[in-house]
């Protein structure tokens, strides 16, 4: 399911270690990060630069290894990582897709933010400088079987402002983050899921 792949599937130059570069912003953003809450908007853009879809919602993170994406709207959807399993919940269809979390998140932005990581092991990293008032960092997955050609992270100071993921077919998924709260108190129930009776359960 493209929706599931796009969600799961979340940098070397001479100035890579510059104190004020985007990599430094990323490292400071992650330093001491335990929990996070942020509102987001998401758009998918095809190879002809046409907007294919637009959605919005709320993202919750509890390190290590737990997060929840809530997609709001007429057909709400949830993606929950409980530390072992990733659940994609589609209430309108009474359907749940599940996948091993370790396999799903390896080398992805979601894995990078949710867990302790070795950035240079999983990505080729490059500073892209300033654009639109933001500091940009490019990550190219080292894995040959990665779904994505590159991932761009943009920071306003030490706050993550945007993430863009370009797949191997030229389609781009873009996230803009707003009202970012660092280390808020989050209830454990946000990161737990038990399929309701009657739901179809699909293995990814």
Number of residues that make up the chain: 204
Residue 33 pLDDT greater than 60, yes or no: yes
Q: How far apart are CA 120 and CA 70, in angstroms?
A: 30
Q: What is the pLDDT of residues 63-91, one digit of tens each?
A: 989 999 999 987 889 999 999 999 999 98
Cα 126 to chain centroid, rounded: 19
Q: Which residues contact 49 (CB under 8 A, 6 or more apart)?
A: none
- Backbone phi and psi for residue 122, each to the nearest 5 degrees, phi listed first: -100, -20
pTM of the model: 0.81
Q: Is residue 7 very low, low, confident or very high in pLDDT (cuts 50, 70, 90)?
A: very low
55-82: burial string, b at 16+ Cβ within 10 Å, e else: bebebbbbbebbbbbbbeeeeebbbbbb
Of the listed ranges 50-54, 184-188, 194-198, the least confidently predicted one is 50-54
Q: How far is CA 79 from CA 7, 33, 89, 123, in A?
A: 8, 21, 6, 24
Cα 51 to chain centroid, rounded: 19
Q: How far apart are CA 5 and CA 131, in angstroms?
A: 28
Q: Domain map of the chain by residue range?
A: 2-203
Helices (DSSP H) in the chain: which residue ranges? 2-8, 22-30, 101-105, 109-114, 119-122
Q: What is the pLDDT of residues 147-194, one digit of tens each?
A: 788 999 999 988 999 999 998 888 899 999 999 999 999 999 999 999
Structure token digits, residue 114: 């949710």
Mean pLDDT for 17-41 is 84
Determine whether domain 2-203 maps to CATH 2.50.20.10.
Answer: yes
Residue 23 pLDDT greater than 80, yes or no: yes
Q: What is the pLDDT of residues 107-144, one digit of tens each?
A: 566 766 777 667 888 889 999 999 989 999 999 988 78
Higher pLDDT, 46 or 36: 36
């Amino acid at each position: 399911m493209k929706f599931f792949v796009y969600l799961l599937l979340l940098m070397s130059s001479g100035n890579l270690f510059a104190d004020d570069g985007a990599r430094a912003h990323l490292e400071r953003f992650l330093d001491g990060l335990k929990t996070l809450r942020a509102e987001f908007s998401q758009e998918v853009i095809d190879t002809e630069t046409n907007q294919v879809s637009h959605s919005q919602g709320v993202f919750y993170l509890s390190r290590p290894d737990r997060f929840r994406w809530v997609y709001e709207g007429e057909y709400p959807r949830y993606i929950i990582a409980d530390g072992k399993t990733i659940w994609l919940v589609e209430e309108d269809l009474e359907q749940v897709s599940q996948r091993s979390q370790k396999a799903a998140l390896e080398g992805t932005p979601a894995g990078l933010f949710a867990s302790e990581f070795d950035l240079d092991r999983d990505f080729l990293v490059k500073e892209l400088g300033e654009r639109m008032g933001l500091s940009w960092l490019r990550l190219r997955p080292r894995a040959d079987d990665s779904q994505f050609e590159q991932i761009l992270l943009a920071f306003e100071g030490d706050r993550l402002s945007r993430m863009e993921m370009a797949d191997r077919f030229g389609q781009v998924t873009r996230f803009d983050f707003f009202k970012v709260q660092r280390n808020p108190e989050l209830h454990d129930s946000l990161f737990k899921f038990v399929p309701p009776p009657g739901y179809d359960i699909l293995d990814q």
